[in-house]
Amino acid sequence: MTSHTPKAHLATWRTVNISVAERAGRVAVGVAAIIAGGVLLAAAASALAVVLELLLVVAGLDMVVTGATGHCPLYQNSATSRDP
């Protein structure tokens, strides 16, 4: 029987599983998405446009956070291996 303790989960969460080049790319693309979403949001004309532009900002925030931390939960759970 495998024991899953919160401490073991935190140790797994903190592992870096994104390469340095990909981390830089994620931060750059994330910042661009946040800026673009903000600019588009300022000129939004419909509720659908507002929702889509907010989703763009949230996706940008996700890219910045995963790039800054160096950890992507999707990579952790997939069979794809990334060399940090």
For the record, the structure tokens of 71 come out as 């950890």
Residue-wise pLDDT tens digits, 23-43: 999 999 999 999 999 999 999
Total number of domains in the chain? 1
Q: Is residue 44 part of a domain?
A: yes
- How many Å apart are CA 70 and CA 20, to the nearest integer? 8
Confidence of residue 17 (pLDDT cuts 50, 70, 90): confident
pTM summary value: 0.74
Half-sphere exposure of 78 (CA within 13 A, CB side): 10
For helices 20-42 and 47-69, angle between their N-to-C axes, nearest 10 degrees: 160
CB 60 within 8 A of CB 23: no
**Domain encompassing residue 49:** 25-76
